[in-house]
Amino acid sequence: MFERSKPQIVFTLTARCRDCYRCLRACPVKAIRMQNGQAYVDEKRCIACGTCIRECPQQAKTFRNDIDVARRLIDEGHFVAASIAPSFAAVFNKWQRSRLPSALRALGIRYVGQTSHGAYQISLQSRKIAEEEAARPHIATACPALINYIEKYQPQLVDYLLPLVSPMAAHARLLKEKMGADIKVIFIGPCVAKKSELNRPEVSGVVDCVLTFKELNAWLIQKGIDLSMCEESNFDEKPIHEAQLYPLPGGLIKTAGLNDDGLNLKLLRVDSIQGVRELLDGIGEGSEHAIIEPLFCSQGCINGPGVDPGKNLFDRRRDIIEYNEETISASVTPEPEDSALFKAAFNKTDTVGSPTSVTEEEIQKILAHTGKQDPEQQLNCGACGYDSCREKAIAVALGMAEPEMCIPYMRRLAERRTDQIFTTTPNGIIMLDAELNILGMNPAFKKFFACSDVILGRHISYLMDPAPFEKLITGVTQNLDITVLHRPYNLLCRELLYMLQEEKQIVGIFINITSQQEHEKKLKEIRSQTVEQANELLEHQIKMAQNIAQFLGESTARGEELVRKLMSLSEGDENTSR
């Protein structure tokens, strides 16, 4: 058997995830684990239905790409056969269908078969079992997402599953029975859950690779194969009338040749997650249904996550029906095969993280943390993705959700923080209506203007000059940044005033700069005194210099006079001695 790795089938592209919870709301089993604002797919819980892939508006959910696996099978020289799901008629236009076999052969596929051959055999076996065991209901097993769901979340219904493989596995067994066990089979269809089916013991080694139609188109582009350039050719297997309707609700019942006009209570067909869940909740011993044909995707396999959504859903349905009619003349009716070739068994898997493992005390503690201990506060709005506040609390206890996912809780938290800022800011804040009546004030404003809530509803002129506010109301300006001295309150404020246009309200923010002004005044006085003292010192120094200069001048003059007298006396003495 070809060795292949088994990474997670459905996963999140975290760079694209925008924390919108849409995937969680859509997931039928809540297999989305919220962690740090990212929505991760919990593989143990996931049933690979692909609902989140279709629903994510950011395309943050995707599935494992197995093109490399298919290419490797061909590159290694294996004889590769393709099993094409009958929903191909809904994916490709009429002219493309006739060229599809040639395109597949150009990829290296050597046998192009149709899964409808397996579907036909499974339909016959389903009818046979239902007729032999008419006392109990029988759930068809063509949809792998349904099998995953029942095994993981409704294990009590496992015994009602028809013990048959899917049409994909049935066709692969027919191909290997016909051409040898060594051939490799690639299934190509609309379903992502088929990839999970490879892990089942009855399918492992029978189907070697599963590709969606999206992957097939990508592969053709990679290889540069244009359908319009391919010649028309036939499949290696002829179509089977009615089995081509298998992708539609009721396709199995129709292929089995059972009389079903939609009103037969013994035969029940249901599609969509909601319909399937509601149906399964009512199944048990004594059920009046003989065959139940459930399909997880709304309108059946033609709406699978592996189909490009370019074509209208009901156009796809029309194309399936028309293709079935167009191929009547070329269709064949195979002989029934040995039932042993299609046997399967299913398991009763324990549900991961059952709600029963969470105690009531834990639930109440989490509800209390988000302010929902009172039942009246449990809005059950579903904004977080869970159907009820209690269900979300259980998810938090199981590590699948975060308390911050509750939007009403986060809103209250934000409002509480806003209120805290409003009440604790040192700046005064006032709100006025369009008539300049006071709507609200914070504690700082009340302190500034020595007022209380008693003045709520009064005109702003009760406290101050309304002129700046009137400029906003009349549209003279959109905002003001002014400095105003309120003498009655010995208060100097920088005032930031602006208009809330939608609410027709005015917000005023008052910043007390009185102490700052006084500080600047004192600083100015100090500067003035310093300059004055500096001038006095300078004048004193100048006078001192002048006095010193005068003294030095007088001293010099006296010195000169004394020297002259001494010289005169000296000259007199010399003359006398002569």
Task: Average the pLDDT over 313-339 and give the result.
Answer: 92
- CB within 8 A of 443, min separation 6: which ones? 423
* Amino acid occupying residue 358: V
Instruction: Judge contact between 379 and 389, C-beta under 8 A.
Output: yes
Task: Average the pLDDT over 180-206 and give the result.
Answer: 95
| Residue 492: alpha-carbon gap to chain centroid | 51
Kindly tell me if the per-residue pLDDT of 540 is higher than 90.
no
Same domain? For 151 and 300 the reply is yes
Asked whether residue 442 is domain-assigned, the answer is: yes
| % of residues, the chain, pLDDT over 90 | 69
Asked whether residue 94 is domain-assigned, the answer is: yes
Same domain? For 403 and 435 the reply is no
DSSP state of 297: S
Pick 561 or 375 by higher pLDDT. 375
Same domain? For 260 and 378 the reply is no
3-state secondary structure 14-44: CCCCCCCCHHHHHCCCCCEEEECCEEEECCC
Sign of torsion over alpha carbons 502, 504, 506, 507: negative
What is the residue range of 248's domain? Answer: 65-342
The pLDDT, as a whole number, for residue 43 is 93
Kindly tell me if the per-residue pLDDT of 1 is higher than 50.
no
Asked whether residue 111 is domain-assigned, the answer is: yes
Across the strands, what pairs with 138? 291
pLDDT tens digits, 101-132 = 999 999 999 999 999 999 999 999 999 999 99
Asked whether residue 544 is domain-assigned, the answer is: no
Task: Average the pLDDT over 44-68 and give the result.
Answer: 95
Q: Where are the alpha helices (DSSP H) in 191-272?
A: 193-197, 213-222, 251-255
Kindly tell me if the per-residue pLDDT of 514 is higher than 60.
yes
Same domain? For 77 and 221 the reply is yes
Same domain? For 276 and 407 the reply is no
Same domain? For 313 and 369 the reply is no
Task: Average the pLDDT over 304-314 and give the result.
Answer: 91
pLDDT band at 259 (very low <50, low <70, confident <90, very high): confident
| Residue 252: alpha-carbon gap to chain centroid | 36
Same domain? For 408 and 431 the reply is no
The pLDDT, as a whole number, for residue 2 is 38
Task: Average the pLDDT over 423-427 and give the result.
Answer: 92
Same domain? For 330 and 471 the reply is no
pLDDT tens digits, 334-349 = 999 999 999 999 988 7
The pLDDT, as a whole number, for residue 357 is 80
What CATH number did the domain enclosing 408 receive?
1.10.15
Kindly tell me if the per-residue pLDDT of 351 is higher than 60.
no
Pick 369 or 558 by higher pLDDT. 369
Kindly tell me if the per-residue pLDDT of 179 is higher than 90.
yes
* Amino acid occupying residue 415: E
Asked whether residue 3 is domain-assigned, the answer is: no
Start-to-end CA distance of the chain, whole Å, equals 154
Pick 110 or 423 by higher pLDDT. 110
Same domain? For 291 and 328 the reply is yes
Across the strands, what pairs with 185? 81
Out of 512, 536, 562, pick the residue that ends a domain. Answer: 512
Q: What's the total number of domains in the chain?
A: 3
Asked whether residue 24 is domain-assigned, the answer is: no
Asked whether residue 5 is domain-assigned, the answer is: no
Same domain? For 391 and 470 the reply is no
Pick 560 or 43 by higher pLDDT. 43
> Residue 236: what are its φ and ψ, rounded to 5°?
-80, -5
Instruction: Judge contact between 391 and 398, C-beta under 8 A.
Output: no
pLDDT band at 434 (very low <50, low <70, confident <90, very high): very high
Q: Write out the E strands in 116-271.
A: 138-139, 184-189, 209-212, 267-271
Q: How far apart are CA 487 and CA 491, in angstroms?
A: 6
Kindly tell me if the per-residue pLDDT of 558 is higher than 90.
no
Same domain? For 119 and 266 the reply is yes
pLDDT tens digits, 476-487 = 899 999 999 999
Asked whether residue 429 is domain-assigned, the answer is: yes
Sheet of strand 267-271, all strands in order from the earlier edge strand to the far edge: 138-139, 291-295, 267-271
Kindly tell me if the per-residue pLDDT of 523 is higher than 70.
no
Q: How far apart are CA 71 and CA 108, in angstroms?
A: 9
Out of 494, 512, 530, pick the residue that ends a domain. Answer: 512
Segment among 149-153, 269-273, 369-373, 444-448 with least mean pLDDT: 369-373
What CATH number did the domain enclosing 449 receive?
3.30.450.20
Same domain? For 96 and 198 the reply is yes
Out of 282, 311, 342, pick the residue that ends a domain. Answer: 342
Q: Write out the E strands in 69-196.
A: 80-84, 111-114, 138-139, 184-189
